A and B are shown apart, each in its own frame.
Chain A
Amino acid sequence: MAYSDKVIDHYSNPRNVGTLDKSKKNVGTGLVGAPECGDVMRLQIEVDETTNTITDAKFKTFGCGSAIASSSLATEWLKGKTVDEALAIDNMEIVEELALPPVKIHCSVLAEDAIKSAINDYRVKNGLAVLEEAKSHH
């Protein structure tokens, strides 16, 4: 399968690979996917509680090039966004940006799930309700 230049770029030079301290109250962690399915993404956000802005984002992904690129791109987009803006990220934006072929759309869906899961984790830690809409949609 031929990968787009952007996928290859993110795969070769992944942005924001790493781990945030998940014990911190202002860090939200999302872990989605399953090893048997061939992809697992862990996406973390660090939120400035006074401005509700995402100040840092990190990821680690076990998966194909498209999965790695989707999560790498997601961390780039998350930084500087408010939590509400982050919630609005749609998987199809990732598909377009990375020119993912139809068989790789699930990678973008997983990235969107990871974002929502991380935000929910942050919300729960801070006594906020879980956003139902953010539940996995597949």
Chain B
Amino acid sequence: MLKLPIYLDNNATTPLDPRVLEAMMPYLTEVFGNAASRNHPFGWAAEEAVDYAREQIAALINCDPKEIIFTSGATESDNLGIKGVFEMYSQKGNHIITATTEHKAVLDTCKHIEKLGGRVTYLPVDAEGLISLADLEAAMTPETILVTIMYGNNETGTIQPIREIAAIAHKHGALFMTDGTQAVGKIPVDVIADGIDLMAFTAHKMYGPKGVGALYVRRKNPRVKVTAQMDGGGHERGMRSGTLNVPGIVGLGKACELARLEMAADTERLSKMRDRLEKELLTLEESYVNGSREHRLPHVANISFKYVEGEGLMMGVKDLAVSSGSACTSASLEPSYVLKALGLSDDLAHSSLRFGLSRFTTDEQIDYAINHVKEAVTKLREMSPLWEMFKEGIDLSKIEWAEH
């Protein structure tokens, strides 16, 4: 028997893998020591667990275990990376380059940098959500200290040309940072091959616990340093003070290990499932995939259904836990800025659904989701005056609407 609602919002967060919980349990109970306690076995046991987690994480992204700085999650890692570089490299320059489709943790941090006197360039993206390498090249200046472009987008799954971006940044003497939140654990991410100098990521997007993440900070070629954004005991090589979240870190480590071992199989299964979902939903007329279909995370589909309204659609797919491109926080709807940046009109952005599949998603759930969405869209279109006009061949853009 299928349990409803079906969770398909795995870009927001994933459930904890039971194997991760199992690994964490001892550190929530008997092994409770502070990893910074050097004088007794309680501390040593905690430190040993943290070191092991560092190795598990390093093996996933091909770095040195010492290059992992533990944080509370990707938002903190983004903040630490961007603000930390801005402060540490202020002698060299004050210019940062990012993109309009970044997560708020990056965009709002960049806004903060601007208030501090920094200069930030926000690169536009094309209809698939990709930045232009020519735009990036043109934006580079001698004052550019950091290029920060996300690996895979949280709304559309679009994967940026990371290696090419890193090469351009390095050619001009800037560091390259990426927000790897959606990509790490889902697709192969190799900080050496990719040329990444700093990378933010988090446990809870890859079946780990919430409240723990990491910032990868390169230690050689070049040796990168960030100024700490929290003062205290000088943990994490002085870059991030605060008692380590040992059970969380153990969970992150285990999640990374599972991802490394199971990524290939998960990707194959999930991309097949995603493609089936997408193919079926695209049989509905006037439905469109948002983002790049070629350069995309394997578990994400973002589809707009024209002539149905987003909030009504969300109400119609009540058996699914999915995200919509419209954030209805008040009477006025705010369409997704990411979809708007791809050039979508407000109404198409509003009527989008984001499906995020997980290791635990089943074919049966996908079958149900396909039928449920088809029924909801069909029903709402039968009720939609815009759909009727479209069917009659009326050009909706020629109508003088009474704005309200």
Q: How far is the CB of A33 from chain B (nearest CB, A)?
A: 6
List the A side residues contacting B328 at CB < 8 Å.
Answer: 1, 64
Q: Could you say which of A3, A34, A41, A68 contacts B403, with CB atoms under 8 Å apart?
A: A34
Chain B 298-338 per-residue mask, 1 if CB under 8 angstroms from chain A, else 0: 00000000011111100100000000001010111100000
CB distance A60 to B383 under 8 Å? Answer: yes
Residues in A24-58 with C-beta less than 8 Å from chain B:
31-42
List the A side residues contacting B350 at CB < 8 Å.
Answer: 38
Q: How far is the CB of B84 from chain A (nearest CB, A)?
A: 39
List the A side residues contacting B346 at CB < 8 Å.
Answer: 35-36
- Whether a CB of chain A sits under 8 angstroms from the CB of B1 is no
- Whether a CB of chain A sits under 8 angstroms from the CB of B384 is yes
CB distance B311 to A68 under 8 Å? Answer: no
For the A-B complex, the count of residue pairs with Cβ-Cβ distances under 8 Å equals: 90
- Whether a CB of chain B sits under 8 angstroms from the CB of A103 is yes
List the A side residues contacting B386 at CB < 8 Å.
Answer: 35, 40, 62
Q: Which of B315, B333, B403 has the most CB of A within 10 A?
A: B315
Q: How far is the CA of A65 from the CA of B250 in the complex (A)?
A: 45
- Whether a CB of chain A sits under 8 angstroms from the CB of B382 is yes
CB distance A62 to B404 under 8 Å? Answer: no
Contact (A60, B331) CB under 8 Å given A33-B404, A36-B347, A37-B404? no
- Whether a CB of chain A sits under 8 angstroms from the CB of B108 is no
Q: Could you say which of B310, B347, B388, B402 contacts A60, with CB atoms under 8 Å apart?
A: B388
List the B side residues contacting A104 at CB < 8 Å.
Answer: 331
Q: How far is the CB of B138 from chain A (nearest CB, A)?
A: 33
Q: Which of B308, B330, B384 has the most CB of A within 10 A?
A: B384
Chain A 85-122 per-residue mask, 1 if CB under 8 angstroms from chain B, else 0: 00000000000000000011110011001000000000
Q: How far is the CA of A34 from the CA of B386 in the complex (A)?
A: 10
Closest residue of chain A to B306 (Cβ to Cβ) is A35
Q: How far is the CB of A95 from chain B (nearest CB, A)?
A: 13
CB distance A34 to B396 under 8 Å? Answer: no
- Whether a CB of chain B sits under 8 angstroms from the CB of A126 is no
Q: Could you say which of A60, A62, A136 contacts B309, with CB atoms under 8 Å apart?
A: A62
Q: List 25 contacting pairs A-B, 8 Å CB cutoff, sorted by A.
A: A11-B312, A11-B315, A17-B382, A19-B388, A31-B385, A32-B402, A33-B401, A33-B402, A34-B402, A35-B347, A37-B404, A38-B310, A40-B384, A40-B401, A60-B383, A61-B384, A61-B385, A62-B309, A62-B384, A63-B309, A64-B311, A64-B312, A67-B312, A68-B383, A106-B331
Given pairs A33-B404, A65-B315, 12 additional interface contacts (CB within 8 A): A31-B385, A35-B346, A36-B401, A36-B403, A37-B403, A38-B310, A38-B326, A38-B350, A42-B385, A62-B385, A67-B309, A113-B402
